[in-house]
Structure 1
């Protein structure tokens, strides 16, 4: 009889230990699932944030591409504007009253005006720096001038017009800059023809 009790007691002890292990295993398993769920949620949130960032970057890139799409084409047309301006400036004043020359000049001026209007519609503007301080980000100094009308370092004349496309520089203006010393002779800063300009 005591042996049966011992056996039963031993069996009960094993049952209790197994139940304890099973309960502990379930707790361990629930903790693992909870941790994995938190990690999966974190990965999902990171992935969603990354996708949103990619969408925003793609939208910005697309908007920039549309905004500046005409820049290369406009840059290629700048020499055309320069040549039209040279043609207009080359007509002597005493010849402008001649009907043939006057008609031809009107056509060249109309072409020049239409081209500038098209540039304006595409977000391009001409730099008009005369009387403004020299800015190396928008201007390229070609000559130094002496002009008491302007302070030293200010632009006195424009050799070739510069252009902006929205907020980007399409081409710098080639300019003459007033010397710092009012009695110094004017000298070229560099020798460069208008046709060499970018």
Structure 2
């Protein structure tokens, strides 16, 4: 419809054209919805599988490391027994009366049994003597000037370290060599021509 004003001005009238929406093929719509639902199901299955694996790993860690606190406490008791044996003079062991010898044997048996029980539950001593110093397993207490040993080598163990699985319960307290040749990997060669 043309208004009289628009016609007088010479303008073309505005005609409203209804929007045409393209018809959606119902089969294509169902295929798209099906693909989306498959994607959701696959993602949910993957999330559940990841959750299952994470839970299994957590349960295994809990089983392996649940006794870590108790084991640390037992190490303190085992150390006390070891120190008790160290302070006994050698002549008391050999020439002591039957009561003293029995007491010493009892302390030795208790220490061995505690070590056996710790090992049974996965608590193992950390190798330190003669090893390259590893700050994850060893705690350096002092340095020993020793030009005959490679620098950074553990030369003395003050207190044994222990680990449960791959976790350190207590680092080994050690003395480390200083002044010897440095540790260099055997397969690494140094080019001195530069």
TM-score normalised by the chain length of structure 1? 0.74
Which has a greater percent of helix? 1
Decide whether the 8 Å contact of 2:125 with 2:160 is kept in 1. Answer: yes
C-alpha displacement of 1:148: 5.8
Query: What is the match of residue 87 of structure 1?
Result: 84
1:67 to 41, 64, 79: 64
Query: What is the match of residue 152 of structure 2?
Result: 153
Q: Distance in 2 between matches of 1:81 and 1:112?
A: 6
Q: Distance in 2 between matches of 1:100 and 1:135?
A: 44
How big is each residue's C-alpha offset from its partner over 1:94-129, in whole Å with a ceiling of 9 and x where there is no partner?
A: 111213222111101101000100111111111231
How big is each residue's C-alpha offset from its partner over 1:78-107, in whole Å with a ceiling of 9 and x where there is no partner?
A: 111111110011100111121322211110
Query: What is the match of residue 120 of structure 1?
Result: 119
Decide whether the 8 Å contact of 1:131 with 1:150 is kept in 2. Answer: no
2:38 to 26, 37, 41: 41
Give structure 1 stretches of 5+ with no counterpart.
1-23, 183-198
Decide whether the 8 Å contact of 2:147 with 2:180 is kept in 1. Answer: no
Paired residue secondary structure (1:96): helix
C-alpha displacement of 1:150: 3.2
With 96-105 and 113-122 compared, the bigger mean Cα shift is at: 96-105
Decide whether the 8 Å contact of 1:85 with 1:112 is kept in 2. Answer: yes
Query: What is the match of residue 179 of structure 2?
Result: 180
Give structure 2 stretches of 5+ with no counterpart.
1-21, 182-194
Paired residue secondary structure (2:84): helix
Query: What is the match of residue 162 of structure 2?
Result: 163
How big is each residue's C-alpha offset from its partner over 1:162-189, in whole Å with a ceiling of 9 and x where there is no partner?
A: 001011111100111122169xxxxxxx
C-alpha displacement of 1:149: 5.8
Decide whether the 8 Å contact of 2:154 with 2:174 is kept in 1. Answer: yes
